[in-house]
Amino acid sequence: MGEVTFDRPILAIIANTEQLLATDSSLGKKGVQYPAATRRGLEDGDHISLSQDRRTLRLDWLVMQTLKHGLDQIRVIVDVSDPQTVR
C-alpha cells in the first residue's frame, strides 16, 4: 500500500501487459530495458485510485514472492502541456 503525488494532473494510467509493451519505446524511460515476455501490469486483487484533483495515486497491490506471477507495473502519464512547468 502506498501513494504518490505528482506536481501536475494525471491524464492516464497504463496497467496491462499489452499496453505497457506497446508504449515501452515511446513512453518508457530512455535506456531502460523493459522485460518483453513477462506478465506485467495489474492483476486481480490489485487496486489503484485517483484523488479528485488527479494528482495523487493510491496503490493497494498484492505482491507475490516469485517472478513467475509477473511484475506489478503501471505507467502514469501526466499533463505536461505547460512547458514552463516541465523540468
C-alpha distance from residue 10 to each of 44, 65, 73 (Å) = 23, 30, 16
* Domain positions in the chain: 2-80
Residue-level pLDDT, tens digit, the chain, 87 residues: 999 999 999 999 999 999 999 999 999 999 998 877 678 888 888 999 999 999 999 999 887 655 565 778 899 999 988 766 555
User: 3-state DSSP call for residue 69?
Assistant: helix
Q: Are 29 and 43 in contact (CB under 8 A)?
A: no
Angle, CA 50 vertex, CA 7 and CA 25 arms, to 5°: 70
pTM, rounded to two decimals: 0.81
